[in-house]
């Protein structure tokens, strides 16, 4: 099963991706994670990516596409994967189609977790206030301002890619504001409907 998962920061993408991994025996491929790992390892790609990531920009398509292409060739990805954070541009989406076509494979579904962002922002504001009141340390990137910035980036990047998949008839939207288990059930229902749950 090969999937792409979209969701604004704070939409619960990580949790749902993890559940898909467990249910279907697939791997979660997060380009953000892979790039951070390359940066930590200090590889040439990692050094180049780190600068861009620190400034909130997009790492060039050729770099990210090469990383994904290598990764999906690894044995643990043969049974399938859920992509998280990729594709972020139409060029990346096209490259993904091409690399899968080369293997005689294709994407089964693209799932978008829809959320009400004003509620997400309110939640994080309350959480930070509570942490401060309890005297707990607050992570520098875990605050309303940082979330707003990441949401803005998401809105700038995502619509053309979502549109690309909508036109291909692959896009399935799920209400990400529902309780976590209900979101999981909705995703499973979407996949079962399209025969996804029965395929490798």
Catalytic residues: 13, 88, 127, 139, 150
Residue whose CB is nearest to ligand AMP in the complex, by number? 32
Quote the CA–CA distance of 113 and 39 in Å, as a whole number: 29
Least distance in angstroms from the C-beta of 62 to ligand AMP? 10
Residues within the interface to ligand AMP (CB under 6 A):
31-32, 35, 52-53, 56-59, 64, 85-88, 92
Closest by CA position to 81, among listed 34, 150, 12: 34
Minimum CB distance to ligand AMP smaller for 74 or for 129: 74
Closest by CA position to 50, among listed 62, 65, 68, 37: 37
Minimum CB distance to ligand AMP smaller for 15 or for 189: 15
Least distance in angstroms from the C-beta of 33 to ligand AMP? 7
Quote the CA–CA distance of 99 and 101 in Å, as a whole number: 5
Least distance in angstroms from the C-beta of 140 to ligand AMP? 15
Q: Are strands 109-114 and 2-7 parallel, antiparallel or unpaired?
A: parallel
Residues 6+ apart with CB under 8 A from 88: 31, 58, 64, 157, 158, 161
Distances (CA, A) of 88 to 30, 69, 130, 155: 12, 15, 34, 11
Minimum CB distance to ligand AMP smaller for 21 or for 58: 58
Minimum CB distance to ligand AMP smaller for 149 or for 199: 149
Least distance in angstroms from the C-beta of 59 to ligand AMP? 4
């Amino acid at each position: 099963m090969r999937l792409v998962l979209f969701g604004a920061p704070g939409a619960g993408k990580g949790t749902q991706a993890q559940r898909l991994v467990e249910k279907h025996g697939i791997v979660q491929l997060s380009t953000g994670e892979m790039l951070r790992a390359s940066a930590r390892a200090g590889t040439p790609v990692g050094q180049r990516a780190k600068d861009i990531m620190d400034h909130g920009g997009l790492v060039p398509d050729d770099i990210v596409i090469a990383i994904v292409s290598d990764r999906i060739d690894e044995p643990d990805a043969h049974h399938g994967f859920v992509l998280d954070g990729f594709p972020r541009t139409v060029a990346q989406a096209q490259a993904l189609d091409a690399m899968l076509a080369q293997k005689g494979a294709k994407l089964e579904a693209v799932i978008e977790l829809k959320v009400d962002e004003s509620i997400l922002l309110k939640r994080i504001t309350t959480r930070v206030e509570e942490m401060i009141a309890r005297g707990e340390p607050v992570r520098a990137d875990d605050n309303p301002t940082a979330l707003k910035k990441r949401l803005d980036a998401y809105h700038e990047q995502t619509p053309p890619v979502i549109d690309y998949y909508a036109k291909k008839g692959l896009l399935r939207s799920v209400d990400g504001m529902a309780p976590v288990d209900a979101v999981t059930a909705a995703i499973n229902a979407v996949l079962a409907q399209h025969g996804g749950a029965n395929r490798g």
